[in-house]
């Protein structure tokens, strides 16, 4: 009976495990331009992607994103909320490491092409003298390089100064990252179904003996 329970639990756990961890990524550097019309990034470097990590002084590609217009609060002060309407969020891989990824062409490959979904929080988290630190946090959804529709989350830390933000709407990307939930191919689900069948057969055999 114990074997039956173990097989049944394993069968149920495998399909869920395919969604469990996802792919982590980090990015850094680059700049932002922000106003009530929205936020736009330039030149943020992709530093890690899953098990891949860029060597010192190099990058794996780049991360770029934009938001919709500010729908509440303010760009300065304690922050506010941006709309996801018209937003973008893209992760591009480049270099030798990306050559094995489907879709690689002309030196790069689109790893994730999507946008924010739902409200995007713009939050002041610290003030040190004239230096301000904000976080931009939201859910993202889009197309994985395999063609699958996937979703995830991201948090981007923005560093700026009071006069730069107020006068020019500019800041630097101190750090950023997130996680994208990527379902495995259906083989794990099929394996789980097979284990359920095996458990049923074992149960019938035990009852018949």
Q: What SS3 state is found at 131?
A: strand
Q: At what angle do helices 2-17 and 187-208 cross, to 10 degrees?
A: 170
Give CA–CA dist 27/155, Å, rounded.
10
pLDDT > 90 in the chain, percent: 76
Q: Look at residue 195 in the predicted model and tell me its pLDDT.
A: 43
Q: Look at residue 205 in the predicted model and tell me its pLDDT.
A: 53
Low-confidence ranges of the chain (pLDDT < 70): 1-21, 184-209
Q: Is residue 181 within 8 Å of residue 153, measured between CB atoms?
A: no
Domain boundaries, the chain: 35-181
Q: Which pLDDT tens digit goes with each residue over 70-112?
A: 999 999 999 999 999 999 999 999 999 999 999 999 899 999 9
Give CA–CA dist 123/91, Å, rounded.
23
Please name the residue that has the structure tokens 């932002």: 32
């Amino acid at each position: 009976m114990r074997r039956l329970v173990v097989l049944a639990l394993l069968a149920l756990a495998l399909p869920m495990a395919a969604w469990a961890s996802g792919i982590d990524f980090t990015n850094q550097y680059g700049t932002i331009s922000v106003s009530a019309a929205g936020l736009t990034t330039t030149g943020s470097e992709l530093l890690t992607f899953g098990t891949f990590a860029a060597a010192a002084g190099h990058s794996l590609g780049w991360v770029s994103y934009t938001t919709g217009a500010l729908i509440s609060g303010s760009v300065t002060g304690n922050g506010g909320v941006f709309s996801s309407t018209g937003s973008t969020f893209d992760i591009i891989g480049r270099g030798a490491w990306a050559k094995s990824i489907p879709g690689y062409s002309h030196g790069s490959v689109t790893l994730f092409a999507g946008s924010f979904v739902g409200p995007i929080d713009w939050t002041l988290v610290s003030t040190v003298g004239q230096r301000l630190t904000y976080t931009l946090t939201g859910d993202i959804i889009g197309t994985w390089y395999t063609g699958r529709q996937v979703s995830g989350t991201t948090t981007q830390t923005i560093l700026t100064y009071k006069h730069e933000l107020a006068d020019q709407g500019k800041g630097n990307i101190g750090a950023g990252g997130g996680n994208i939930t990527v379902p495995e191919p259906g083989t794990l689900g099929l394996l789980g179904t097979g284990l359920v069948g095996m458990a049923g057969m074992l149960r019938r055999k035990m009852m018949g003996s």
